[in-house]
Amino acid sequence: METVSKFEKHKTSLKAGQKAPDFCGTDQFGKNICLKDFAGKKIVLYFYPQDDTPGCTTQSCNLRDNYNEMLKQGFVVLGVSADSVKSHIKFAKKFNLPFSLIADEKKEIISSYDVYGKKKFMGITFKGIVRTTFVIDEKGMIDGVIDNVDTANHSSQVTTLSHFDRLSVTMSLPAKE
């Protein structure tokens, strides 16, 4: 395997102002979740590598801890990873996550949002899910993309980005993984 610089990784080709790709998937409650079901609502769609790992747990718990405030601001929070429904059930239960975690074992949603690609961990390059969040407006348009997620302060990144409503914004500042 080759080594890469500290911040080199795949970035989604999707941008603010584009229509968000439609999707359907099953969450940890056994419910079929489709993007179209949330027409008229703002969505925080966050993609993360794996249930119950340090960075993913920190990110999910930060969203959980700020969930009521995000609801007050009109957001629906949805997480997506390639983990199974069974894994999502354990993860959500262990950390009391109140929002849907969509199982995408075939990586269909992950591929349509272009968040699977080369990334690095401990200086080693490999392919995997690149932690990325999309803020989607009430009409299904991408308001913003956060591609350098600060896992411990992710809800703040989302709410900061939402203040730039309907601007072409991508947050790519260095963040702690």
Using 50, 70 and 90 to split pLDDT, how confident is the model at 172? very low
Distance CA 105, CA 81 (A): 8
Distance CA 65, CA 68 (A): 8
Residue 105 covered by a domain: yes
58-72: pLDDT as tens digits: 999 999 999 999 999
Residue 19 covered by a domain: no
Residue 16 covered by a domain: no
User: What pTM did the predictor assign?
Assistant: 0.87
- Look up the CATH number of the domain holding residue 82: 3.40.30.10
Total domains present in the chain: 1
Known catalytic residues are 56
For residue 67, CA distances in Å to 94, 101, 158 come to 17, 14, 12
Residue 87 covered by a domain: yes
74-123: pLDDT as tens digits: 999 999 999 999 999 999 999 999 999 999 999 999 999 999 998 877 78
Residue 15 covered by a domain: no
For residue 26, CA distances in Å to 32, 37, 80, 143 come to 5, 13, 10, 24
Residue 81 covered by a domain: yes
With beta carbons less than 8 A apart as the criterion, state whether 83 and 91 touch. yes
Distance CA 147, CA 161 (A): 12
Residue 102 covered by a domain: yes
Residue 55 is part of which domain span?
Answer: 24-171
Residue 129 covered by a domain: yes
